[in-house]
Amino acid sequence: MKTLNSILSLRSLITDWKRQQMSIAFVPTMGNLHKGHLELIKAAKEKSDKVVVSIFVNPTQFSEGEDFENYPRTQQQDIKTLVTYDVDLLFLPLIEEIYHSEAKTMITVADISNLHCGKMRKAHFSGVATIVCKLLNIVQPDRIFLGEKDFQQLAIIRLMVRDLNIAVIIDSVKIIRETDGLAMSSRNGYLTAEQRKIAPNLYQGLCNAADKIKQNLQSFREIEQQQQCVLINLGFKVDYFSICRANDLLFADKNDKELVILAAVTLGKPRLIDNIYIKRWS
């Protein structure tokens, strides 16, 4: 595996690969790799000749008071893992390589970025859209592989790629869960032993809501309120628990067929997000 820190050297290697008509897959990460990241890499290897992984803790997607400085950084272990998975190229840039000291350009995907997580993390999705756009411009991959755990982020990137006519195929990979249902996340390491026992109830709440939707006996708003109350009683602080239309993430009603239940909670120090996709036939 090659490890490169500069955009110039990365572009030189990518140009060489493309000259050889090799297809290129890209997996952007912030490091602290877990099984969810590794599933993205496995999927990328199946569909491309070369796999590029980036590790970059992006400062522009952290709001003031969030955990940028303390975000878990496990670079040496991550490198060993990527070598084991036979990744072709690791892009490991410094902040000053990515962001000019006088940078004035940020990308915002209107409307959808202000929903759900965007209500509480005002600059977050602009930071996400900007760094993904920059990395796509740098790497120029044929395909980008993204996880479905952050469904809103995935939807925003899809819109950005469409609206900016970026020539890349987006491959989404299903959420990878622990045996008790908790969605894998770098932030799970912040949970205490007691909180870790409670955390899987978030996924259970999503499953319960999905079952109630299929039973079709209650309104969506009643289901949301019930599950929020359950989670609060278990010790979660609930940011939102919302039954949405999968295409635009606006609140759904019983006439909508493709749904996603989105949830974000705080349990102790970490903020946890999760979702379930539902396709209704009647």
Cβ burial of 135 (10 Å; 0-12, 13-18, 19+) is: buried
Q: Extract the tokens encoding 55.
A: 């590790």
Q: Which residues contact 179 (CB under 8 A, 6 or more apart)?
A: none
User: What residue type is 189 in one-letter code?
Assistant: G
The closest alpha carbon to 139, from 39, 28, 31, belongs to 28
Catalytic residue numbers? 37
Q: Does 266 lie in the same domain as 161?
A: no
Contact 125, 156 (CB under 8 A): yes
Distance, in Å, from the CA atom of 187 to the CA atom of 4, rounded to the nearest integer, reads 27
Q: Does 197 lie in the same domain as 95?
A: no
**DSSP characters over 86-105:** T-SEEE---HHHHS-TT---
For the chain, how are helix, strand and coil distributed in percent, rounded to 5? 45, 20, 35
Nearest 5 degrees, angle CA 216-CA 218-CA 223? 110
pTM for the whole thing? 0.96
Lay out the sheet containing 143-147: strands in order across: 2-4, 89-91, 50-55, 24-29, 143-147, 169-173
- CATH number of 109's domain: 3.40.50.620
pLDDT of residue 282: 57
pLDDT of residue 92: 98
Q: Does 231 lie in the same domain as 152?
A: no
pLDDT of residue 237: 98
Local structure of 217: helix, strand or coil: coil
Q: Does 78 lie in the same domain as 114?
A: yes
| Domain with 216 in it | 186-276
Q: Which residues in the chain land under pLDDT 70?
A: 282
Residue where a domain terminates, one of 111, 141, 173: 173
Distance, in Å, from the CA atom of 85 to the CA atom of 195, rounded to the nearest integer, reads 32
The closest alpha carbon to 262, from 250, 279, 253, belongs to 250
Residue where a domain terminates, one of 131, 148, 173: 173
Q: Does 21 lie in the same domain as 161?
A: yes
Q: 201 in the Ramachandran plot: left (φ > 0), alpha (ψ -120 to 50) or beta?
A: alpha
pLDDT of residue 266: 97
User: What residue type is 52 in one-letter code?
Assistant: V
pLDDT of residue 255: 92
- Is residue 178 included in any domain, yes or no? no
Contact 268, 192 (CB under 8 A): yes
Residue where a domain terminates, one of 122, 140, 173: 173
- Is residue 72 included in any domain, yes or no? yes
Distance, in Å, from the CA atom of 34 to the CA atom of 43, rounded to the nearest integer, reads 15
Q: Extract the tokens encoding 29.
A: 């990460």
β-strand pairing of 89-91 with 169-173: unpaired
Q: Extract the tokens encoding 123.
A: 């600059």
Distance, in Å, from the CA atom of 81 to the CA atom of 34, rounded to the nearest integer, reads 9
- Is residue 180 included in any domain, yes or no? no
- Is residue 132 included in any domain, yes or no? yes
Q: What's the number of domains the chain is made of? A: 2
